[in-house]
Amino acid sequence: MKFNKERTPIWNSIKSYAIITLGLFVNALAWTAFIIPSEIVGGGVTGLSTLIFYATGFPVGVTFFLINIVLIILGIKSLGLSFGIRTMYGVAVLSLFLGFLQQYITEPVVDDRFMSAIIGGIMGGASVGLVFSQGGSTGGTDIIAMIINKYRNISPGKLILYMDVIIISSSYFLFQSLEVLVYGFVVMSVASYAIDMVLMGHRQSVQMFIFSKKHDIIAEQIANDINRGVTLLNGKGWYSKEESNIIMVVVRRYESNQIFRTIKQVDPDAFISITNVMGVFGKGFDPIKY
């Protein structure tokens, strides 16, 4: 079944918000089920809100929401209204998830504190990466990282890591414990790595060379169904001495499976070469930064 092209933007928007919502729920679960009950202070505004919760008992979700109001305004000015809408959505939904889950989860799911730090860091980082991949944000230091990443090709995970050092280090003044400090840095490091892994997987691209006598049909379907640019190269088989056209296309890795299915349906005997590329910049891919 094919969707009407006029409905495609709406469907993409619904799909994007569904993925963002899933990421926000996983992020809230990481904090309320593993990090907060284990008395571990992670990074970001959520970590700062956790510190306030430990000191005053004030709900994490409420503090998280209030702090992010100011940061959202800065994000809208730099990243545009679209980012602001998705960020406001992200902050509001994550605040609700944090508030709801914290009421019902009072004990850590895993008794071992180190395992809570590892699992919480993986879930928290991967969920943030998932939200980032859809152009959204969980607020806090994520906003600052995305503003910088818009103009400079610097890893968002590393930016967040550097900014979160101060927040986590401040937990020592509350707990007077190096153990809590170390666990906080474990969460931060694991989360930073998970963010980069998710984003790199989403942005990773491949270059494909397709040799087929039905190159015109394949090229047409790639251009119309997958909405990717196609380049035809002139070639000549050395053994057969026959002239042939070669399709060259650059796509995201997750799109390559769809191209394989298209080729198999049109010409099962086609010859395909696929290679990873370091980066692709331009329309339909990453913007050129300097």
Domain limits at 264?
Answer: 205-277
Instruction: Give per-residue burial for 97-136: e unless 16+ CB within 10 Å, then b.
Output: bbbebbeebeebebeebeebbbbbbbbbbbbbbbbbbbeb
**Whether the Cβ atoms of residue 149 and residue 97 lie closer than 8 Å to each other:** no
pLDDT at 203: 66
Tokens of 86: 């998705």
Q: Are residues 14 and 133 in the same domain?
A: yes
Q: Is position 43 within any domain? A: yes
Q: What angle do CA 188, 52, 23 make, to 5 degrees?
A: 45
126-185 pLDDT per residue, tens: 998 888 878 777 878 777 777 787 777 777 767 777 788 889 998 888 888 889 899 999
Please report the DSSP string for 17-32 in residue order.
HHHHHHHHHHHHHHII
Let me know whether 134 and 77 are in one domain. Answer: yes
- Whole-model pTM: value is 0.70
Q: List the one residue out of 29, 18, 20 whose CA is nearest residue 100.
A: 29
| Claim to verify: residue 141 and residue 228 sit in the same structural domain | no
**Domain total of the chain:** 2
Sheet containing strand 243-252, edge to edge, reads 231-236, 243-252, 205-211, 271-277
From 172, 202, 232, give the residue that closes a domain: 202
Which stretches in the chain have pLDDT values below 50?
Answer: 1-7, 290
- Regarding whether 227 and 118 lie in a shared domain, the answer is no
- 102 and 89 together in one domain: yes
**Cα–Cα distance for residue pair 268/260, rounded to 1 Å:** 10
Nearest C-alpha neighbor of 139 from the set 83, 184, 181, 194: 83
Residues 135 and 112 in one domain: yes
What pLDDT score does 287 carry?
66
218 and 106 within one domain:
no
Task: Quote the pLDDT of residue 50.
Answer: 93
Question: Hey, how many other C-beta atoms are within 10 angstroms of the C-beta on 162?
Answer: 14
How far is Cα 196 from Cα 158, in angstroms, rounded to an integer? 9
Looking at 145, 167, 202, which one is the last position of a domain?
202
Report the distance separating Cα 31 and Cα 38, nearest Å.
Answer: 10
Q: Are residues 236 and 151 in the same domain?
A: no
Judge if 91 and 213 occupy the same domain.
Answer: no
Domain assignment present for residue 98? The answer is yes
For residue 2, being part of any structural domain is answered with: no
CATH number of the domain encompassing residue 241:
3.30.70.120
Instruction: Give the separation between CA 177 and CA 265, rounded to whole angstroms.
Output: 63
